[in-house]
Amino acid sequence: MNSAATKVPAVTLGFWIIKIAATTLGETGGDAVTMSWLGETTDHPVPNGYLIGTGIFLIALVALVGVQIASKRFHPFLYWATIIASTTCGTTLADFADRSLGIGYTGGSLLLLALVLASLGIWYRAEGSVSVETVATPRVEAFYWATITFSQTLGTALGDWAADSGLGYLGGALVFGGALALVAAAYFWTRISHVALFWAAFILSRPLGATLGDFFDKPIAQGGLNLSRPMASVVLLVFIVAMILFVPQRPARREATS
């Protein structure tokens, strides 16, 4: 047996740092488009702003997923651009469901949790595994990106629900950060499936990013720092690019028969 490369990155500490930064950028970037540019939280909003924002980011996501699937090997900038597209799309889609459709944070979170579990279940039934180490064929990549998009959207709804329930943005970030620490402890000190723990961490990192993003850009009266959404997004983007350039990015490996 030898190993072959997949088109997704190995799960390392650098992976999680970039993932959390990307999900935070998804929150500030998505809000910059729907709330600032399209005016959803102003006195003169563009009609259907959340829906328009979702459409913009969904087009970008579909295009990037198509390029990602068509590529022959792992490209760090392409991969993380697709992750950022999925998290910004998740932000605007969750806001559209929670606010425009009126199903609320609890209803939105339950619906999206069901979609994540359904996506993982169908993927497992079709392939026998939901490990990232198997992401090497177009069909598995399609399952992978569908699951990621649902999980990003779920994370946004969970982050908003936690902040709105009385925890506040900083409190929500501490709760989800603590949950991620427990998952990390389980990874190193228990025999719980590493694949299950990966997806738990992937989902939990999104509401952590959502609450951090809201903490940066929401008004001080609402528990935030009142930073400019576009400026916060630019700073996060520069940080992500620097991480990709200076932190080694290698593809995950899968076992393959010689």
Q: Which domain holds residue 57?
A: 2-250
Please write the tens of the pLDDT for every residue from 49-70.
Answer: 888 999 999 999 999 999 999 9
Rg (CA), the chain: 18
The whole-number pLDDT of residue 2 equals 40
The whole-number pLDDT of residue 180 equals 93
Mean pLDDT of 124-145: 91
Please check whether residue 258 lies inside any domain of the structure: no
Look up residue 46 and give its DSSP letter.
Answer: P
The whole-number pLDDT of residue 68 equals 94
Please check whether residue 135 lies inside any domain of the structure: yes
Please check whether residue 50 lies inside any domain of the structure: yes
Give the range among 72-76, 127-131, 152-156, 214-218 with minimum mean pLDDT. 214-218
The whole-number pLDDT of residue 215 equals 78
Please check whether residue 245 lies inside any domain of the structure: yes
The pTM of this model reads 0.89
Please check whether residue 195 lies inside any domain of the structure: yes
Structural domains counted in the chain: 1
Backbone φ and ψ for 199, nearest 5 degrees, come out as -70, -35
The whole-number pLDDT of residue 4 equals 61
User: 69 CB contacts (<8 Å, ≥6 apart)?
Assistant: 138, 141, 142
The whole-number pLDDT of residue 223 equals 67
CB 58 within 8 A of CB 90: no
Please check whether residue 257 lies inside any domain of the structure: no
The whole-number pLDDT of residue 250 equals 87
Q: Quote the CA–CA distance of 147 and 132 in Å, as a whole number.
A: 11
The per-residue b/e assignment along 125-134, b for 16 or more CB within 10 angstroms, e otherwise, is eeeeebbbbb
Please check whether residue 256 lies inside any domain of the structure: no
Mean of all residue pLDDT scores within the chain: 86
Please check whether residue 174 lies inside any domain of the structure: yes
Give the range among 125-134, 162-171, 202-211 with minimum mean pLDDT. 162-171
Please write the tens of the pLDDT for every residue from 11-46.
Answer: 899 999 999 999 999 888 998 899 888 888 788 888
